[in-house]
Amino acid sequence: MEKFIIEGGHPLAGSVRPGGSKNEVLPVLAATLITDQTVTLDNVPRIEDVLIMLQIMERMGGRHAWLGPNTVEINNGGVANGEAPADLCRKLRASILLAGPLLARFGSTTLSPPGGDVIGRRRLDTHFGGFTALGATVEFDAMIRISSRGLTGADIFLDEPSVTGTENILMAAVLATGRSIIRNAACEPHVQGLCRMLVTLGAQITGIGTNTLTIEGVRDLQPGRHRISSDYLEIGSFIGLAAMTRSAITIEDVVPDDVRMIGHIFSRLGVEYRLADGNLHVPAEQELAIRNDFGNQIPKIDDGPWPAFPTDMMSIAITVATQSRGMVLFFEKMFDGRMFFTDSLVSMGARIILCDPHRVVVSGPAQLTGTTLSSPDVRAGMALVLAALAAKGKSTIYNVRHIDRGYERIEDKLRALGAKIERLPG
């Protein structure tokens, strides 16, 4: 176990480049199992979840080689069947994404139920319903067993726009016989990235970026190369960092369409920025003030499927709100455990009422004071880092492996901006 020691209250300055998207790279890595050809991926973040996914494929018989700091070449020609190592799958929530590729390539797969963050129940019914519609049989006891005598294209309406459900069904459908249509599909930037990667390898997918995907099945996929997009959630984290520490920070390699809703929500908390030529600049010394709804009503910020505000940004937005003048209600609709991290903010001096597992009221600004904390999950862990950097005094954050699962070399990036942060053995 390792920990961060952070001395807060120091202004930051400079430029920072976000890593590749965690939520894109994991399904893209899984998708390389569909083919026995070589796939090269650029802008791959070297985070814990990526390394575990590569370990899983290596244990199954795949090979990979790092060609540079963030470029990896993968060949899964040596993978002989759809049996995935249970011990590694239990460490990784994204291991469920192996189901679609292995089903497509081998006609069957056996997986352990996935591990990952404990932020609430994450149902798998959407995945299984899609596989069944394509002609597979699903059994779920201590293990997940999926098999088919050949997948056939189908018109599938998802009962919810599940991101991983959409990705899994999409990957299964690319080699299915005939046409598949996925309606009420998720269309987040990382889903679009997976679609573009598959098209690069020869898949036939239309409707990318919409909630209706049409897939014409092909016989096989070809070698190819794909660049992982910058992580818009990391970009949002750095916007929040600049606002909370009242610092001037420029964030590089930003896709404007990926941050429109994030920018809209931050503007309701009083955060402004400028975006030009792929760079996003947050000016220093912003006086944050929550913008009330019409009629001077207390505003409500909630999350939802794309293009709504992403659930993974809720922890960051709540933390920023502790430094904004006014009152705001946050409504987390998607997970029933994400809000519990606010106890840590309260211990630092934040004024937050936890109404129930889905709603909190934040009243700001509040002077935060350094204390001892523990990271409960990837996004809440990063939110606590932001709080510690804005707080008066020193903070110790334990369990930073959760942060490492989503943010590559985060302490190095923060130190380059002038942050007082060091990693020490726990």
Q: DSSP states of 324-338 as a string?
A: SBEEEEEE--S-SSG
First to last CA, the chain: 5
> So what's the architecture of 22-227 in CATH?
Alpha-beta prism (3.65)
Instruction: Tell me what pLDDT residue 121 has.
Output: 46
- Nearest-angstrom CA–CA distance, 22 and 130: 24
What pLDDT is recorded for position 20?
97
Whether 117 is catalytic: yes
Q: What is the pLDDT of residue 115?
A: 61
From the DSSP assignment, how many helices (H) and strands (E) are in the chain? Answer: 14, 23
Distance CA 360, CA 350 (A): 12
Q: DSSP labels for 200-259?
A: HTT-EEE-TTSSEEEEE--S----EEEEPPB-HHHHHHHHHHHHHHT-EEEE-S--GGGG
What are the φ/ψ torsions at residue 238 (nearest 5 degrees)?
-70, -30
Q: What is the CATH number of domain 2-19+230-425?
A: 3.65.10.10
Q: In order along the chain (426 residues), what is the average pLDDT of each group of 10 residues? A: 95 97 98 98 96 97 98 98 93 92 97 60 83 95 92 97 97 98 98 98 98 98 98 97 97 96 97 96 96 95 95 97 98 88 97 96 97 94 98 97 92 98 93
- Residue given tokens 């004024």 in the structure block: 351
- 122-147: burial string, b at 16+ Cβ within 10 Å, e else: eebebbbbbbebbbbebeeeeebebb
Catalytic residue among 42, 87, 117, 155: 117
Cα separation, 228 vs 320, whole angstroms: 28
Region(s) of the chain under CATH 3.65.10.10: 2-19+230-425, 22-227
Supply the pLDDT for residue 79: 97
Residue that has been written with the tokens 């990318």 in this structure: 208
The predicted model scores a pTM of: 0.93
How far, in Å, CA of 26 to CA of 20, rounded?
A: 11
Compute the distance between CA of residue 360 and CA of residue 99 in angstroms, rounded to an integer.
36
